[in-house]
Amino acid sequence: MLRTNLGQRIPDGMRDLLPEELVVQERLEEEILALFRQWSYQKVLTPTLEYTACVQPDIEQDDSLYKFFDREGRILALRPELTMSIARLVSTRMRGGDFPLRLCYGADVYRNTAVRHREFRQVGVELVGSDQELADAEVIALAVEAIAGLGLKNYQFNLGHMGIFSGLMLEAGVDEGLQSKLEEALARKDMVGVERWVSQSRLPTRVQELLLRLPHFHGGEEILDEVLDWSERPAIQEAVERLRKIYRYLNYFGVQENVSLDLGILRGFSYYTGAVFEGYVPGMGFPVVEGGRYDTLYSDFGVSLPATGFAIHLGTLLEQFPLSSTESADILVYGSDAEQVIRQCQALRAKGKRVEMVLGRIESDVAQKMAFQKHIPEILCV
C-alpha cells in the first residue's frame, strides 16, 4: 500500500535518531548513569503510560499531557517527567524501603507543548526521605559533576529557593491569581510579563521594587545578607539560611565555583517547595538541567516524605557533541556455500567477534570494496 504524505512523516516534536546520533546519546547516558551508580544511586524504570491522576494529581485538565483512554474508559497519559511516577513507585512497592532512597533513571518523557521537542530523553536522580540541606547539596553537586564529566566547558548552574518568593507573596498579601501569573512569568524568564503584572497590581511600592529586582538578584553568598534586610518574616529568613548552608556545602564538594545564587529562579512544576536549580551550557538559551526540592508531593500519594532531585535533558545535549561513526563489524564473511558461511559466522560470534555476513555470492573484489566502504578491517572467504 502506498503511504500517504502523513504516513511518511512523524508527529510534531518527535524525532528519529540515526545510528550515529544514537551512538552519542547512548554513550552519554551510560557515562552519566555510571556516575550515578558511583554515588550509590540505583536505577529504576516506570511505565511510559500512567493514569493522569498520577502524573498530574492536582491538574486533571493539563493540556501539556498526551492523553488516551483505555478500554475501561480511564484516562491515561504519557509521562511528562519521572518525578511523579517515581513518587508513585516509592509510595507503593518501595514504601517499606530503607530511607533515604537514592534512585536514578534514563527514560523518554513526553510533553504536548508548542516547542521544538515534545519527546525528551532524560537522565536524573531522586533522593527520597531526607529533608537535610546536605541532601540538596549532594544532588546539585552530582548534577554539576555529571555535566562536567561529559567534557562540556563554561557551563553554569544557578541556585535559588522557592521560599523567598512565596514569603514575599505572603508578606504582601498577594492573591492567588496574581501570584500564579507572577510565578509563571518568572519561571519563563519573561521580564516583560513580570513588569506588566507588577505595574498593574496594587502592591506596596517596596514590594513592587523587590519583585522587579528579584530576577536580577544574582551572585555569591553576599546577596543573601541583603535579602535578610528585606523582611523579618520567618519563612524568608529560613529560606535564606537554608540556601546559605547548601551553598557552603557545595564548596566542600568542590563545585561552588560553577554555581551562582539566583533568587529569580522558579521551577515550572507546582510541586517545588525549597531549593531549586538550573544548569546551562553555552549556545543553548534554556536549561539542560532542572531540579529542586519537593517536600509535599508525596502526600498526594498517601505518605509524607521529603525529597529532592534533578533531570538532565539528554536529547538537547546531543547538539553539543560531534556525531560518532557507528561501530563497524570486525570481520566480513562471504562464500559460495551458505551453510559454511553461516557456521563460520556463528563460530566467530561465539568468540566475541562482531560479524557481518554477506547475503549471497560475491567475488573477492566486491567483498573488498564492501569492507572498505563499511570500514570493516578483516575479510574471510569460506
Q: pLDDT of 164-200, one tens digit each?
A: 888 877 777 777 778 778 877 777 777 888 888 888 8
The C-alpha cell at 366 is 566486491
Q: Rounded to a whole number, what is the distance in angstroms from the first to the last CA of the chain?
A: 40
What's the 3-state SS for the chain? CCCCCHHHCCCCCCCCCCHHHHHHHHHHHHHHHHHHHHCCCEECCCCCEEEHHHHCCCCCCCCCCCEEECCCCCEEEECCCCHHHHHHHHHHCCCCCCCCEEEEEEEEEECCCCCCCCEEEEEEEEEECCCCHHHHHHHHHHHHHHHHHCCCCCCEEEEEEHHHHHHHHHHHCCCHHHHHHHHHHHHCCCHHHHHHHHHHCCCCHHHHHHHHHHHHCEECCHHHHHHHCCCCCHHHHHHHHHHHHHHHHHHHHCCHHHEEEECCCCCCCCCCCCEEEEEECCCCCCCCEEEEECCCHHHHHCCCCCEEEEEEEHHHHHHHCCCCCCCCCCEEEECCCHHHHHHHHHHHHHCCCCEEECCCCCCHHHHHHHHHHCCCCEEEEC
For the segment 30-79, what is each residue's pLDDT rounded down to a tens digit?
A: 999 999 999 999 999 999 999 998 987 554 456 789 999 999 999 999 99
Q: Is the pLDDT of residue 234 over 70?
A: yes
Contact 190, 292 (CB under 8 A): no
Q: How many whole angstroms separate alpha carbon 67 and alpha carbon 77? A: 4
The torsion angles phi and psi of 368, rounded to 5 degrees, stand at -65, -40
pLDDT band at 218 (very low <50, low <70, confident <90, very high): confident
**Residue 268 pLDDT:** 57
**Residue 60 pLDDT:** 43
More confident residue, 126 or 211: 126
Task: Give me the amino acid identity at 46.
Answer: T
For the segment 325-362, what is each residue's pLDDT rounded down to a tens digit?
A: 778 899 999 999 999 999 999 999 999 999 999 999 99
Share of residues in the chain with pLDDT > 70 (%): 95
Q: What is the CATH number of domain 8-164+215-320?
A: 3.30.930.10
Task: Tell which residue, 277, 206, 275, has the closest CA to residue 241.
Answer: 275
Q: Find the mean pLDDT for residues 94-106.
A: 94
What's the mean per-residue pLDDT of the chain? 89
